[in-house]
């Protein structure tokens, strides 16, 4: 039986990484350090390298400071030299949770217990940087977490563990992220137990079932009425935090909407559910109706 490995966590400021860290800290104490991006191109905010404690109290950095876990800011250079971090942290296990940069082989081959990524989809489906967005786009009713070995290509390494959860109607990206981060923490704990007991097994990904999606462009926010109403409703609910207008093209006009307030299935058109001053319309889809809050319309 091996001793529990010391973890070096690669994360980024954001809800997913923060919740993964919070949940992990509830059950595991041997976290040797946290690596975070230092560039504002990732955080969209100036990153206080000298005094990380001034970050938002709910941030990854402030959680680390509270637990006296060292934080190592790094930049996006593919040739970044991680040797100083490795010599200080001396990790036996590397975990990635939302970290956006590609790691060199010299880094992920360093720890004796391996290096694993915590990916928010059921790989090999939905490889890429924003898998939850695309799961909402394609109307998935189930999502999950995959722990897989890190390779030089993103999201292709051997799978160690998976767990799945339902995406219920109307769930937001935040709601889904909370659930997925909870699954992730449980899988990391199972990974550690498997490493310590020598019972951890991995398997290759099935390339015939793989899919990859990059960053969405403006076109994906145009919702075709050939979708069923439920899919359209859940896509909007799951992606509204992108703060992007949605377009729906009807036979006679294009409707620009800012949100949805419900859907119904079947051929009978419902009355609008949302009164007040909002401009609410009921729009037909392939097997039902979507109630939307209109931002603007053009004939």
Q: Going from the N-terminus, what domains does the chain have, and what CATH number goes with each? A: 7-209 (3.40.50.170), 218-298 (3.10.25.10)
CA dihedral 115, 119, 124, 130 (to 10 degrees): -130
Q: State the pLDDT at residue 57.
A: 47
Q: State the pLDDT at residue 274.
A: 55
* DSSP secondary structure letters along 136-185: HHTT-SEEEEEEEE--SSTT-SPEEEEEEEE--TT--HHHHHHHHHHHHH
Other Cβ atoms closer than 10 A to 299: 5
Q: State the pLDDT at residue 296.
A: 53
Q: How far apart are CA 87 and CA 33, in angstroms?
A: 11
Q: State the pLDDT at residue 229.
A: 95
Q: For the sheet containing 93-96, what is the strand order?
A: 71-74, 31-37, 7-10, 93-96, 115-119, 142-149, 159-166
Q: How far apart are CA 7 and CA 93, in angstroms?
A: 5
Q: How far apart are CA 275 and CA 194, in angstroms?
A: 55
Q: State the pLDDT at residue 272.
A: 64
pTM, 2 dp = 0.87
Q: State the pLDDT at residue 299.
A: 37
pLDDT averaged over 10-residue windows placed end to end, the chain, 299 residues: 86 88 85 82 36 51 86 81 92 94 88 95 97 98 98 94 97 94 92 93 97 95 95 96 92 89 84 64 92 70
């Amino acid at each position: 039986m091996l001793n529990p490995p010391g973890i070096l966590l690669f994360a980024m400021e954001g809800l997913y990484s923060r919740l993964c860290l919070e949940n992990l800290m509830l059950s595991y104490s041997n976290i040797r350090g946290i690596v975070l991006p230092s560039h504002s191109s990732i955080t969209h905010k100036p990153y206080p390298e000298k005094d990380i404690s001034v970050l938002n109290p709910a941030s990854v950095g402030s959680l680390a400071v509270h637990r006296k876990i060292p934080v190592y800011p790094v930049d996006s250079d593919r040739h970044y030299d991680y040797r100083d971090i490795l010599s200080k942290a001396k990790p036996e296990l590397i975990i990635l949770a939302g970290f956006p940069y590609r790691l060199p082989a010299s880094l992920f081959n360093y720890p004796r217990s391996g290096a694993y990524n915590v990916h928010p989809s059921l790989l090999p489906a939905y490889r890429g940087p924003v898998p939850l967005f695309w799961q909402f786009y394609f109307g998935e009713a189930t999502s999950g977490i995959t722990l897989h070995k890190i390779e030089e290509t993103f999201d292709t390494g051997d799978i160690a563990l998976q767990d799945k959860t339902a995406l219920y109607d109307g769930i937001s990206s935040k709601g889904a992220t909370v659930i997925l981060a909870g699954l992730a923490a449980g899988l990391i704990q199972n990974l550690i137990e498997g490493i310590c007991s020598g019972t951890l097994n991995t398997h290759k990904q099935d390339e015939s079932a793989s899919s990859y999606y990059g960053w969405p462009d403006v076109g994906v926010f145009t919702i075709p009425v050939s979708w069923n109403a439920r899919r359209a409703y859940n896509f909007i609910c799951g992606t509204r935090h992108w703060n992007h207008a949605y377009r729906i093209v009807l036979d006679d006009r294009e409707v620009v909407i800012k949100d949805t307030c419900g859907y119904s299935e079947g051929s009978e058109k419902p009355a609008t559910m949302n009164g007040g001053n909002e401009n609410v319309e009921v729009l037909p889809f392939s097997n039902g109706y979507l109630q939307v809050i209109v931002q603007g319309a053009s004939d």
